[in-house]
Amino acid sequence: MTKILITGGAGYVGAVLTPYLLDKGYKITVLDLMIYGEDVLKKNPNLEIIKGDIRDTELLNRVLPDHEVVIHLACISNDPSFELNPTLGKSINIDAFSPLVEIAKKNSVKRFIYASTSSVYGIKKEKDVNESMSLEPLTDYSKYKADCEVILKKYISENFTPIIIRPATVCGYSPRQRLDVVVNILTNLGYHKRKITVFGGDQLRPNLHIKDMIQSYYLVLKANKSLISNQIFNVGSENQKVIDLANITKKIIGEDVILESTPTNDNRSYHISSKKISEILNFNTQFTVQDAVLDLKKAFDEKLLVNTLENEMYFNIKRMQSYQLK
């Protein structure tokens, strides 16, 4: 049975990925600070949960032996959370990275899958932004993601296979819910306030249903080494205008939802092509933005998510402000 370490395995994506891989027969160790709750993951005989910090190299040396794969999700996620404490963000998102990779390789980890971000490209005018294009990150969060990619690729060897994933903005329901990413924001506001305000609207945003995100990790996990070694894969679904996302949300949540548009100075557009992962690993998205909105609406209807306009657990920056991680 393949043993996998998932850093950040109780986070927004990890909380869906971990049970999925357990169901597929993998043995999972989750290393997570658990600052968004310790009841996110259900008990499982093949799951070990370690509350800990990826900056703790002694802990990593104790944990990593006998693991064949690392899926590295842990980070201070998104620009506002990073900018809240840049020193903290740097210590976790870049300074801790080389030691983690070195310890993984020293302990005979065979495959290291790194969650980067599609924002490493910055703003591109080209229609299809693919993996061969230059990186022009606009923020320190994205810059450190790009820097980690460079670091990881240096460690490739016959017995150590690095893979880099550049996901679009993930959306949809998770047991560790985020309501601070675009589709989830629109759905939460539409459902609870019956009003959505769009700033600008013509900006493109690449989106990806969380279940498709999980599927991409699974495909990389089980792929032949020759197909993935030292490869970079964009993973996205639909590049859509923010105003179109708002209209999709309104249609599903209810026609009584008021939709307003207001000018903005931030008209940055982001878009990516996922042609490469489709051709090499036969990745095809199965879910849409509409599905993500429907999943969230169902969670709201069933009271799986409560006090969603105020509860800091759903908003990374609010939680980071109160938790005061150092």
Confidence bin at 82 (pLDDT 50/70/90)? confident
Confidence bin at 81 (pLDDT 50/70/90)? confident
Span 80-107, mean pLDDT? 92
Spatial contact of 184 and 295, defined as CB atoms under 8 Å apart: no
Q: What is the pLDDT of residues 151-161, one digit of tens each?
A: 999 999 999 99
Coil/strand/helix, residue 177 = coil
pLDDT at 215: 98
Span 275-301, mean pLDDT? 98
The pTM assigned to this predicted structure is 0.96
Q: What is the pLDDT of residues 32-49, one digit of tens each?
A: 999 999 999 999 999 999
Spatial contact of 138 and 269, defined as CB atoms under 8 Å apart: no
How far the first Cα of the chain sits from its last, in Å, is 36
pLDDT at 311: 96
Q: How many structural domains is the chain composed of?
A: 1
User: How far is Cα 108 from Cα 111, in angstroms, rounded to an integer?
Assistant: 9
**How many C-alpha atoms does 246 have within 13 Å on its Cβ side?**
20
Which two tokens mark 318?
A: 């609010």
What one-character DSSP code corresponds to residue 160?
A: B
- Domain range holding 220? 3-323
**78: pLDDT strictly greater than 80:** no
User: Environment class of residue 286 by beta-carbon count within 10 Å: exposed (0-12), middle (13-18) or buried (19+)?
Assistant: exposed
Q: What is the identity of the amino acid at 97?
A: F
Closest Cα partner for 143 from 154, 151, 135? 135
DSSP bridge partners of 258: 195
Element (H, E) at 302: none
Spatial contact of 196 and 186, defined as CB atoms under 8 Å apart: yes
Which two tokens mark 52?
A: 């800990």
**132: pLDDT strictly greater than 80:** yes
User: Environment class of residue 139 by beta-carbon count within 10 Å: exposed (0-12), middle (13-18) or buried (19+)?
Assistant: middle
pLDDT at 238: 80
**127: pLDDT strictly greater than 90:** no
Confidence bin at 168 (pLDDT 50/70/90)? very high
Span 92-119, mean pLDDT? 97
User: How far is Cα 10 from Cα 16, in angstroms, rounded to an integer?
Assistant: 8
Which two tokens mark 25?
A: 């027969």
Q: What is the pLDDT of residues 219-278, one digit of tens each?
A: 999 999 999 999 999 999 888 999 999 999 999 999 999 999 998 887 778 889 999 999
Closest Cα partner for 252 from 242, 244, 260, 241? 244
What are the DSSP calls for 13-45, one per residue? THHHHHHHHHHTT-EEEEEE--TT-S-SS---T
CATH of the domain at 306: 3.40.50.720
Q: How many CB atoms lie within 10 A of CB 68?
A: 15
Q: Phi-psi bin for 253: left (phi > 0), alpha (psi -120 to 50), beta?
A: alpha
**75: pLDDT strictly greater than 80:** yes
Q: What is the pLDDT of residues 193-223, one digit of tens each?
A: 999 999 988 988 899 999 999 999 999 999 9
User: How far is Cα 6 from Cα 9, in angstroms, rounded to an integer?
Assistant: 5
